[in-house]
Chain A
Amino acid sequence: MNFWINVLSAGVGNGTALLFATMGELLAERAGVLNLGVEGMMLVGAVTAYSTAFATGDPWIGLLAGMLAGALLSLLHAFVVITLRADQVVSGLSLTFLGIGLALVFGEGLASARGVPTIPTLSIPLLAQIPFLGPIFFDNKSVLVYFGYLLIPAVWFYVYRTRAGLHLRAIGEYPAAADSLGIDVYLWRYFYVLVGGLMAGFAGGAITLSITPGWFSEFTTSGFGWIAIALVIFAQWDPVRAAFGSYLFGSLRRFTLDVQGVQDVFGIANPFFFDRNLQFFLEMLPYALTVIVLILGSRAAIRKRLGAPAALGIPYVRGERGLL
């Protein structure tokens, strides 16, 4: 029992970084802009947050700087794909390269930084006492984890229950119709790509300042940005499913570590405890599962005819023959 509490509890922490990155990407894709640069934005956010926190001694200023850095990169993507109408796939990939390169150059020597402040943790007095759920969700958690809890209903409400959310969906499904209603498609697409960048920067900062404090060059984010993109597809662009997937993958990350420490699982001798080399298969697990999740996601999408936002990946050109 303790084993699972530990795994899920750490999963909620890991999952928070994924959650923010996934939600940001979800909003951008809902507006019709695919941004494959999440990994790059996260890394730049991570390095900026960490180095700023190191320089100023304040983790919150660091986190803010990380968000701004992520946003700045996302604007580049927005300009290239919205204004210049370049291919969103190629631009997103370039953003990843650029982000990794920038993070490596600016993160040079940062790995040896000591005494970098981290985001404080917090226990919720009564809720933390609930058996099983208490220690998983409310005991000694980073403040950012609670931000995550608030984010989920907020995004859900925004997308499905507000006028702005309705406009957001319209822009992603049928931009020409949205445009004819006086909604500024270009402006709002810029806005949502920017929000995606802010959230990816936040996710990067959350990793270096709270979840796994430290700078480990490009391994800091270890593919979280890509997993976030896959989770958006898996979640079929729904915020609640996205949150569920984020925490699930966060837990998996910890599971692969913890499972090597137990001698037997359900009474069977644990092979991962006795053969250290099998750890490499455990390390494959999140990536393999991402592929499986994608397969499940796309099959369900085919079944339910509930696919991507119709205008995802297509530049909008006012007055040009409608692509939709």
Chain B
Amino acid sequence: MTEAIRPSPTTPKPRGFRFPFSMKLESRLETPRWLPWATTLGSVIFALLVTAVILLAVGADPVRSFRAIYLAAFGDSYVFSDTLVKATPLILTGLACLLAFRMRLWNIGAEGQFYLGAWGATLIVEAVLGQDAPGWVFIPLMLVSGFVFGAVWGFVPGILKARFGVNEIITTLMLNYISLYWVAYWVFGSWSERGFQMTPMFPRQAWLPRLMDYSAILKPFAGMTVHLGFLFALLAVVGVWYLLTRTRFGYEIRLIGDNPNAAKYAGVNIAAMTIFVFMLSGGLAGIAGMSEVTGVVHRLQDRISPGYGFTAIIIAWLAKLNPWAVIPVAIIFGGLLIGSREIQPSGLARMLQGILLFALISTEVLNRYRVRVERVKM
């Protein structure tokens, strides 16, 4: 047995039997440019196929399910507008994950940071400005507040990681749970509207403008729900791209992500970068929360996120940590969210995401290694 890795060492081999094939992984010196995208596409197709099989197993019709999702999400310009609305928080939280992952910081807490951002935006209405302030005061202030509270929620795991070496995966996950109860405390308690688990509707000036608000000027905009948050998301993409590729700060993030030892010897302050990147990441997710309460829900309520912060992890991964790719990927996932509301079983979208992520990391091996299957000579 040379350097070969046996494909299935799960069961102890009975004596005298050799698995007739052996699999070899040889490191690639160079990965062709097209290969990562090809494996990504392959993963998507594979995930759809596996999902279809599972759907068949539970007695559903996969073709009809997928078709229903497609029509509900991309069927005409109105549903596509709804898809863009869903894509908005996904782009922002996806960027949040992307930024942290690029430094190999596992921020699984975009969900919690999203909630804190939503809470921060609501705080401005409930406690700071009141009902009568004009929109040009409201919106920037809510944006800043959403960013700040998201960043605070990112600061906690950041400093714990930098100062004590605490595993950030678990802290961010625990903070997700805590943020849910934190929001629940306010919307069930002092911010509750007549005992319902939500705050009163925000005043009109505090809503992010939507395309439909301009339908008097441009007729086709009528019924279009896309709001200003989508623009924030696009700007954030440009910002993150610029930061990562055109600044010294971004260079240091990539350096730490690729080779932490080299970064340390080059004199990069890893602890400070950890805290800072975590705060920036949390802030981006916070803006997603702000944009959701001010652009879509127009009030804070219990469980406003259908798991944006978790889907964001997959989006960042599917986009190969490329900020521009986050946009189309988030739109597809936004469509999946819109579409899967229409169909049963309800866990379908989550399952598809899980299978997809697995397919992605399994095919990742093709990018790094040349896989060779050889017949073992008996």
Contact = CB atoms under 8 A, between A and B. Distances in A.
Interface string A284-324: 10011011001100110110000000000000011110000
Contact of A94 (B54, B165, B171, B361): B361
A301 B166 CA distance: 10
Contact of B12 (A76, A90, A187, A291): A187
Given A83-B23, A98-B357, A105-B345, 13 more contacts: A75-B10, A86-B364, A91-B361, A93-B106, A95-B354, A101-B350, A104-B345, A105-B347, A190-B10, A194-B10, A226-B170, A294-B166, A301-B165
Contacts of B347: 100-105, 107-108
B6 interface: yes
B181 A283 contact: yes
B173 A226 contact: yes
User: For the complex, would chain B's binding face be called helix, strand, loop or mixed by DSSP majority?
Assistant: helix
A229 B7 contact: no
Interface in B1-38: 3, 5-7, 9-10, 12, 23, 25
Interface in A258-289: 277-278, 280-281, 283-284, 287-288
Contact of B357 (A97, A278, A287): A97
A89 interface: yes
Given A86-B365, A97-B353, A186-B5, A280 B181 contact: yes
Nearest to A106: B58
Given A102-B351, A105-B54, A295 B178 contact: no
Q: Which of B54, B181, B310, B369 has the most CB of A within 10 A?
A: B181
B9 A186 contact: yes
Interface string A178-219: 000000101100100010000000000000000000000000
A230 B177 CA distance: 15
A301 B313 CA distance: 30
Interface string B153-175: 00000001000111101110111
B9 A101 contact: no
Given A226-B173, A290-B174, A299-B164, A108 B344 contact: yes
B106 A89 contact: yes
Interface of A: 36, 40, 75-76, 78, 80, 83-87, 89-91, 93-108, 184, 186-187, 190, 194, 223, 226, 229-230, 233, 277-278, 280-281, 283-284, 287-288, 290-291, 294-295, 298-299, 301-302, 317-320
B81 to A, nearest CB: 28
A280 B361 contact: no
A271 to B, nearest CB: 13
Interface of B: 3, 5-7, 9-10, 12, 23, 25, 54, 58, 106, 108, 160, 164-167, 169-171, 173-175, 177-178, 181-182, 184-185, 188-189, 310, 313-314, 317, 344-355, 357-358, 360-362, 364-365, 369
A132 B367 CA distance: 61
Given A80-B362, A280-B184, A290 B170 contact: yes
Contacts of A78: 10
Contacts, number: 161
A280 B188 contact: yes
A90 B221 CA distance: 42
Nearest to A96: B354
Contacts of A76: 358
Nearest to B349: A101
11 contacts: A78-B10, A85-B25, A94-B358, A95-B358, A102-B354, A280-B188, A284-B177, A291-B160, A294-B160, A294-B167, A301-B165
A101 B352 contact: yes
B364 A284 contact: no
A187 B173 CA distance: 32
A280 B12 contact: no
B361 A101 contact: no
A301 B314 CA distance: 32
A320 B26 CA distance: 11
Contacts of A36: 169
Given A76-B358, A105-B345, A233 B167 contact: yes
A90 B361 contact: yes
A153 to B, nearest CB: 27
Nearest to A282: B181
B313 A84 contact: no
Contacts of B10: 75, 78, 190, 194
Given A108-B344, A294-B166, A319-B3, A101 B189 contact: no
A106 B55 CA distance: 10
A200 B170 CA distance: 18
B9 A184 contact: yes
Contacts of B362: 80, 84, 86
